[in-house]
């Protein structure tokens, strides 16, 4: 059945997707709003993957101060043009990510940035735990990789579930911004200060 104008508007308000994309998703989902949202999210992630190779040289430094000046965060969020960087939505994204970093205290932006010896150490700890339980080696390997995914979700910004909505990871938030803006959106770096806490050498 054809989507009504009211349904298209509701879907557009919820997702920020273009009108024709919303109409197409609703038609494909036979008017089911939740299914249409899922279709748009899948398409958005696919488009985000295509844009990932494009140079994101513009953007903003998001910032957030918490607990009466006890915790402060600066985060660089990039896009391709100054036009997108100046939009309220992009500014809000940078602020949201800064607030998340203040609350969740990640160590790095991406898992690839973790020191290899740190990951190896975690892997060995998990392996020793399950070896002691008498599990077979091939089973231990699968369990260890699963445990490492949980570890990444604790310490890597892009893998962390958003503190505002645990059903959405920071990576998914950034991918949604890429789909909505039509530009490659990336988080490049951040620094988190906590009063009285010295930087680790």
pLDDT per position as a tens digit, 162-186: 999 999 999 999 999 998 888 889 9
Overall fold of domain 5-51: Helicase, Ruva Protein; domain 3 (1.10.8)
Q: Which helix (H) or strand (E) holds 191?
A: strand 186-194
What number of CA atoms fall less than 13 Å from residue 65's CA on the CB side? 4
Mean pLDDT of all residues in 19-35: 84
**Two tokens, residue 161:** 């579930």
Mean pLDDT of all residues in 103-108: 95
Note the pLDDT of residue 200. Answer: 43
Note the pLDDT of residue 105. Answer: 95
Domain 115-154 is of which CATH architecture? Orthogonal Bundle (1.10)
CATH superfamily placement of domain 58-110+156-194? Elongation factor Ts, dimerisation domain (3.30.479.20)
Q: How confident is the model at residue 49 (pLDDT cuts 50, 70, 90)?
A: low
Domains of the chain, by residue range, sit at 5-51, 58-110+156-194, 115-154
Examine the pLDDT at 195 and tell me if it is beyond 80. Answer: yes
For the segment 74-100, what is each residue's pLDDT rounded down to a tens digit?
999 999 999 999 999 999 999 999 999
């Amino acid at each position: 059945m054809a989507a009504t104008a009211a349904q298209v508007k509701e879907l557009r308000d919820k997702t920020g997707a273009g009108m024709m994309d919303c109409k197409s998703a609703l038609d494909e989902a036979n008017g089911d709003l939740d299914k249409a949202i899922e279709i748009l999210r899948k398409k958005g992630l696919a488009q985000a993957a295509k844009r990932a190779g494009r140079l994101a040289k513009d953007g903003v430094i998001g910032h957030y101060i918490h607990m009466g000046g006890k915790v402060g965060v600066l985060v660089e969020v990039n896009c391709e043009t100054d036009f997108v960087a100046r939009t309220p939505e992009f500014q809000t994204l940078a602020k949201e990510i800064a607030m998340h970093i203040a609350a969740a205290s990640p160590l790095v932006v991406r898992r690839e940035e973790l020191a290899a010896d740190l990951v190896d150490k975690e892997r060995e700890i998990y392996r020793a735990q399950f070896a002691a339980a008498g599990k077979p080696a091939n089973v231990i390997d699968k369990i260890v990789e699963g445990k490492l995914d949980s570890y990444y979700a604790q310490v890597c910004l892009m893998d962390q579930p958003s503190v505002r909505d645990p059903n959405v990871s920071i990576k998914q938030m950034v991918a949604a911004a890429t789909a909505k803006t039509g530009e490659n959106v990336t988080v490049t770096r951040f620094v988190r200060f906590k009063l009285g806490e010295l930087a680790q050498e």
